[in-house]
Structure 1
C-alpha cells in the first residue's frame, strides 16, 4: 500500500479520536455537536404529564386506569406500585428504621422523620400564599388551603376569610377600626400624657385638702353613742380622691387612676375644669 495512503488513513483516525474527546454530544447524522444530550420525553395522553423514563409513565398510567397489580400477601390490599406495597408492608412488620436523634421517636419512612425534625428545629417551610400563614407539615397547609377555597372572600388586613361578601364587609369595618385605634394609641403624644399626669397631681392635692377639712369638721361634732361591739356597724368609707372633671369620688389611688385614663384620657373627654367642685359625702 502506498505510504501516503497509510499516512492519510492514520491522520483521519487521529482526527476522529480528537473529535471523540471534544466535550458535548455528536449528532449521528451530521457533524454538529451539542452541549447537552436531549432526554427522551414520554407524555401521558390523559393529563399530559411529561416523564423522562418510560417506566415512570407506565406506573403513572395506573393512576388513571385504577390498575393495582401489587398485592399484600398479609392482608390482600392492592397497590399500584411496588414502592407503595413496600411501605405498606412495614406496618405489618413494625419496622421503624428511621429514628429521631433528639427524642428517639421512630418512623417508617425517612420523609416522615424529615418532617418530624422540623418540630425540633422550629422550621415552618410551608407557607400559604394568600395569608402568609406558615406550617410545619405539607398536609396542614393543604388542609388550610381548603378553608380559602371554601371561603373565597379574604380580608386584606388580617388574612381572615369568609364565605360571603357581606360577612367580609362587616369584618373589614371592625378590622380597620381596631387597627386605627392601635395607631392612635401608639401616636398618643407625650404632651397629652404630661397633661394627664398634672391633672392627677392636682386631684391628689385637692383631695388631701378636702379630706383634712372633713376631718376637722368631724372632730368638732359630738361623739355618737356607744354601740355594743357585737352589733357595731362598719364605719363608712370616706373617699380620699375625687375627680375635678366630673365630680366622681374614689376610695383609692388605683380606682382613681383607672377612671382618669379610661374616661378622660383614652376616651378623649377632657372638659374645662370647673373650680367650683361639689364634694358629695353621700357617695361614700
Structure 2
C-alpha cells in the first residue's frame, strides 16, 4: 500500500510540477549579505567644571564655628558664641542676680527662671490648661504638663494601695496618696521601713542616708 502511494506521488510530481521547483535553490541565493550597521553617536553636552565640583556655598560665619567671646576672669577659660551668653556667665563670678521677684526676696540669673518662679505666687485658678477628661478638673501651667497628664488617663493603673481600693498609674502618686490619706499629719513621702522607726523624709537621698544608720554602714563615726 505504501509503495502504491509513493508511486502516485512520483507520477504527480513528474507530470504537473516544474522540476526547478523541486531542486533546492543555488547556494548563492541562500547566502544573503546584510549591510553592516554603524552605531549611532549620541550628542553629549560638555560638562562644565562648576557642575563637577557642585554648587559652591559660602563658608559659615565665624560666630557659628568659633567661640570668640572668652571670659577674662582669672582662672576661667569659658568661651561662648554670643556676647549675651558671656555677659550672663560673668554674673556667676560677681554673684549678681539681676532678676528679682517683686513678691519675695528670690533673685534669679535668667528672666525665664524668674518667670517660672512667678507662677508660684498665682492661684490655681490662673492656670490656663485644663484637663478635658470627664471627672478630672486638674489644671496646668503649660501645654506640655497637660499632655503628660492626659497620657495617665489612657494607662492602666498598676500600683494599688494596701490600705484601700485606690490604684494609680505612677508610683509617686501612690506614695503621695498613702502619706495624705493613711498617715498622720506631717508625715513625709519617703518613710523608713525598719520596725520601730517612724522617720520620714522629703527626699529619697535623705532616706538612703538614714537607712545606713540601721545597717551600721555610716562612713563617719564620732
Compute the TM-score of the two structures, normalised by the length of structure 1: 0.29
Q: Which has the higher helix share?
A: 1
**Structure ID, larger Rg:** 2
